[in-house]
Amino acid sequence: MEAKKIVEAIRLAAGAGGIRQIFLVGCGGSMAGLYPAWYLLSREAKSLRAEYHTSNEFVYATPAACGAQSVVICCSLIDTPETVEACRTAVERGAYTIALAGSEHSKMMELTPYSIRYRNFDARKRDTSATQTKHALALRVAFELLHQLEGYAAYDDAIRAYEMLDSIVLDGLRYSDRRAPLFAEKTAEESIIYVMGSGANNGAMYASSICNLLECMWTDSVAVNTGEYFHGPFETTDQNLAVMLMIGAGRTRALDERAHKFLRRYCDNLTVIDSKNFGIDRMPPAVREYFDPLVFMPVMDIYNTALAKLRGHCEQDRRYMHKIPY
């Protein structure tokens, strides 16, 4: 179903003022995929409460507020068991539950009438639309929730931004195709790589750290919010530390720039990835920052692929995931 129609159906069923909380639930990269949606709601919602949880925490410590006045969005590519369980928990609590699934045959779709199928965007092949990813579709649901439940002044801007998304993603990737091999050369021998960013990009930063580096590359990685960097983490920085700094185009750009200023002075192995270079500024200013992570995510994938290629490491190799019971 389309995001707009789902939210219309929920609004009709719940009545005016009938929805008070939105819970965004997933694991790992799927949880990170919900971050842009959470970020939008956390900054723009006037009365809706929005929370962001890893699936099992939602299952075992279900918020008391979750019930008939809640919308729960559950995201999983291939029916992660704890996310299916979170979906069941939400339905049992009487919440309007939206399954964001990578397959038409998802078990979540048997649990709830509201579902959206998403498609991962392959940053190498570039043969599908970046508007159909979990990030983009979850964000789309969030825009609809804001607009339909509270009224959102920049709604039309958001719709226009979606129309431009593919073009900006492709520009960002073309730009990064030439930068990524330079990063790979600088970090080929590194056993730890920090990833830094802020604001709307926190989720993309987290996914780059835990999915790209820890999971795919088996390389230690610390994800650091640039606002937090100066309150502890910067003490491990030295000339040799490998750092990927994501500089966003949104309101928290000042935080990223402050980290950049410091890193330029104290770190020699720095890779700066600035979304201004992708042309994100072509998007309407009121909604630009919410789309920043949608462009960053495939760009970060290209950097990872370049590193994998240089190291001769297959990005699909796993030691444990889907191979042994856990």
Contact residues: other proteins, CB under 8 A: 20, 27-31, 42-47, 49, 51, 54-57, 60-61, 63-65, 80, 82, 192, 198-199, 209-211, 214-216, 218-223, 225, 227-228, 230-238, 250-252, 254-255, 258, 262, 266, 289, 318-321, 326
Closest to other proteins by CB, 6 vs 66, is 66
Nearest to 259 by CA among 176, 197, 310, 208: 197
* Burial track 53-67 (b if 16+ CB lie within 10 A, e otherwise): bbbbebbeebbeebe
Closest to other proteins by CB, 59 vs 98, is 59
Tokens encoding 177: 């195709």
Closest to other proteins by CB, 259 vs 273, is 259
Provide, rounded to whole angstroms, the least separation between the CB of residue 179 and other proteins: 24
Provide, rounded to whole angstroms, the least separation between the CB of residue 259 and other proteins: 9
Closest to other proteins by CB, 43 vs 126, is 43
Provide, rounded to whole angstroms, the least separation between the CB of residue 112 and other proteins: 22
Taking the C-alpha atoms of residue 195 and residue 228, their distance in angstroms, rounded to an integer, is 13
305 Cβ contact list (under 8 Å, min separation 6)? 123, 124, 180, 315
Provide, rounded to whole angstroms, the least separation between the CB of residue 10 and other proteins: 20
Closest to other proteins by CB, 258 vs 309, is 258
Provide, rounded to whole angstroms, the least separation between the CB of residue 50 and other proteins: 8
Provide, rounded to whole angstroms, the least separation between the CB of residue 106 and other proteins: 17
Q: Are 190 and 196 in contact (CB under 8 A)?
A: no
Closest to other proteins by CB, 255 vs 287, is 255
Report DSSP letters for 147-215, one per residue.
Answer: HHHT--TTHHHHHHHHHHHHHHHHHHHHHHHHHHHHHHHHHTT-SEEEEEE-GGGHHHHHHIIIIIIII
The count of residues in the chain is 326
Taking the mean position of all CA atoms in its chain, how far away is CA 226? 17
